Amino acid sequence: MSSKEQTILDDASDGGESFTSIFEDILDAAQASDAEGSEDGYETSEILSEEKCLEMRTYLRAHGEQKFLLKYLFSDDASATDTSESNIREVLYALGIRSSVVLESFDEAAMVQLLQLAITRELSRRIPLDNVTTLDDAISLIKNAKNIVLLTGAGISTSLGIPDFRSDSGIYKRLEAMGLSEPQEVFDLHVFREDPSIFYTFSKEILPTVTRFSPTHAFIKLIQDNDKLLTNYTQNIDNLESHAGILKDKLVQCHGSFAFATCQNCGHKVPGDELFADIRMGVVSRCKQAASADLVQSRKRKRASDDDDDEEQDAQEVDQCNGVMKPDITFFGEALPKTFETRLLGQDIDNCDLLICIGTSLKVAPVSEIIRVLPSHIPQIYISRTPCTHAEFDVSLLGNCDDVVEYICKELGEGWELTHEMIAENAFNGEVAKTADRTYTFTRTSGADKTQEADIMKQEETERNDPDGKNGTSPGESN
């Protein structure tokens, strides 16, 4: 083996810092463009046949990464022998990277890094179950399951006018429009500790403004009422699961919530809504807990040495902790709640008999790893507006989450009546069609979409004008 071949093998096997998160985004985009038939993708016949691609993926799973690379990247019988770069291009194509932008424009070093990630993803892909392939199968599973694990994301709240984070109209785009070049820094723990004013300047964009919940939240409550809910892992920080009545011992708020806030100095915890006024004004919220005796003495000595004339202000700063308050949401660089790991590995991995992912793109680790941690024989159902291209679900139900769960409850029948004001005003009466293998799409009529959009805009305007609900009734709660 040549030194160049060994270098490529070593780089492709390196799971450390040889590639960054940008390659995750590139891989997602490349695989999504192929799945959607994008114009920048190659035709199947241009590089390899689908039979050849399947053969290569099967060999990878059967023999492992090293033998796979030796056979298809460096062997004499590899179909492209001019340069290793052309061989890498073929292997990437076989692993689902069909974007001409990637295959024609990337240099060898970039393609090697992308290759490592593509191989890792292929090896970690779950093989869909042969006996779970249809919408009827999915409904039957829900009806007969006893211990359902739900993994939920922003898509279960968007019908209430609550934006997600990563879409074109999401939180990060809003923050960019406000002049923030790196939107994720708002939720970076190190940035917060250095300058909490950045978070308080922009966090009003994610402040919960409603207590009502969506039909999808009500569906989760129905699963609980039917004694089938094992755990609801939510990535949302709006705390609407609690408003919907999901029991505390059934709920893991993986990314925390605004329900409480904690002083970064003394650890004092308060209800989160005590910070809301400061957040709306963009002012850093400070802890009003009494300062410790040692801290009071230290501040008095400092005040005396500084000879400050503003005695009233100094007295308040001396007597109170005055530490920075941080909402109990999980920032980047901060560990997830301990209950996430202990419950997943200590209970759910052994007891779950059905996984349903609703309204999540599954792009944020470690929560996204739940689909790989649970045993592969556990059926998996995916419900969201857009497909998930980097995971293999048994059945995918694509459309507005509220529409999908409304349909499911009607099919489940007695004991699954989904009563909710949003359904009463705008019930789903669209089409359900099988659009691909294991995939069904729920399509509303255009008139119904406009009615729902008008209702959301009206609700958002009411909440902007009266965020505390003091000028009338509360935003409303669902049955």
pLDDT digits (tens, 9 = 90+) for 365-385: 889 889 989 999 999 999 999
Phi, psi of 386 (to 5 degrees): -120, 155
Phi, psi of 189 (to 5 degrees): -65, -40
pTM of the model: 0.72
Out of 104-113, 296-305, 318-327, 420-429, give the one with best mean pLDDT.
420-429
Domain span(s) for CATH 3.40.50.1220 in the chain: 126-162+210-255+336-479
In 125-266, alpha helices (H): 135-144, 171-177, 189-194, 197-202, 215-225, 240-244
Tell me if 357 is assigned to a ligand binding site: no
Task: Grade residue 353 by pLDDT with cuts at 50, 70 and 90.
Answer: very high
Residue 94 token pair:
């076989």
The per-residue pLDDT for 27 is 59
The per-residue pLDDT for 161 is 84
Strand partners, 286: 324
Tell me if 287 is assigned to a ligand binding site: yes
Residue 298 token pair:
């230290």
* 428 has a pLDDT exceeding 90: yes
Residue pair 10/70 in contact by the 8 Å Cβ criterion: no
As a dihedral over the C-alpha atoms of residue 443, residue 445, residue 446, residue 448, rounded to 10 degrees, the angle is -110
| CATH 3.40.50.720 fits domain 126-162+210-255+336-479 | no
Residue pair 400/439 in contact by the 8 Å Cβ criterion: no
- DSSP assignment of 349-404 equals HHH--EEEEES----STTGGGHHHHS-TTS-EEEEESS--TTS--SEEEES-HHHH
Q: Which long-range contacts (CB under 8 A, 24 or more apart) does 313-321 make?
A: 318/291, 319/290, 319/291, 320/286, 320/287, 320/288, 320/289, 320/290, 320/291, 321/263, 321/265, 321/266, 321/268, 321/286, 321/287, 321/288, 321/289, 321/290, 321/291, 321/292, 321/295
Q: Which residue has the higher pLDDT, 1 or 78?
A: 78
- What's the rounded Cα separation, in Å, for the pair 374 and 349? 5
Query: Residue 102 half-sphere exposure, CB side, CA atoms within 13 Å?
Result: 30
Tell me if 53 is assigned to a ligand binding site: no
The per-residue pLDDT for 475 is 30
The per-residue pLDDT for 206 is 78
The pairing of strands 229-234 and 148-152 is parallel
- What's the rounded Cα separation, in Å, for the pair 67 and 72? 9
Q: Which residue has the tokens 């089409």?
A: 431
Spatial strand order in the sheet of 269-271: 269-271, 256-263, 325-329
Q: What is the mean pLDDT of the chain?
A: 80
Residue 75 token pair:
């062997």
Q: Which residue has the higher pLDDT, 89 or 4?
A: 89
The per-residue pLDDT for 315 is 52
Residue pair 261/275 in contact by the 8 Å Cβ criterion: yes
The per-residue pLDDT for 175 is 72
* 111 has a pLDDT exceeding 80: yes
Residue pair 122/79 in contact by the 8 Å Cβ criterion: no
Residue pair 325/286 in contact by the 8 Å Cβ criterion: yes
Taking alpha carbons only, the member of 241, 211, 208 closest to residue 224 is 241
The per-residue pLDDT for 73 is 85
Q: In the chain, what percentage of residues exceed pLDDT 70?
A: 73
Q: In the chain, what percentage of residues exceed pLDDT 90?
A: 44
The per-residue pLDDT for 301 is 62
Strand partners, 436: 439
Taking alpha carbons only, the member of 209, 206, 187, 214 closest to residue 198 is 187
Active site residue 255: yes
- What's the rounded Cα separation, in Å, for the pair 96 and 103? 11
pLDDT in tens, 291-311: 766 655 565 666 656 655 555
Residue 257, sorted as left (phi over 0), alpha (psi -120 to 50) or beta, turns out to be beta
Tell me if 266 is assigned to a ligand binding site: yes
- What's the rounded Cα separation, in Å, for the pair 460 and 466? 10
The per-residue pLDDT for 179 is 67
Q: In Å, how far from its chain's centre is CA 91?
A: 29
Q: Which of 255, 268, 377, 420 is catalytic?
A: 255
Q: Which residue has the higher pLDDT, 273 or 464?
A: 273
pLDDT in tens, 167-219: 666 677 777 776 666 767 788 899 899 999 988 988 887 787 778 899 999 99
pLDDT in tens, 9-59: 454 444 433 333 445 555 555 555 554 444 445 544 467 888 888 899 889
Choose the weakest-confidence range: 225-239, 262-276, 305-319. 305-319
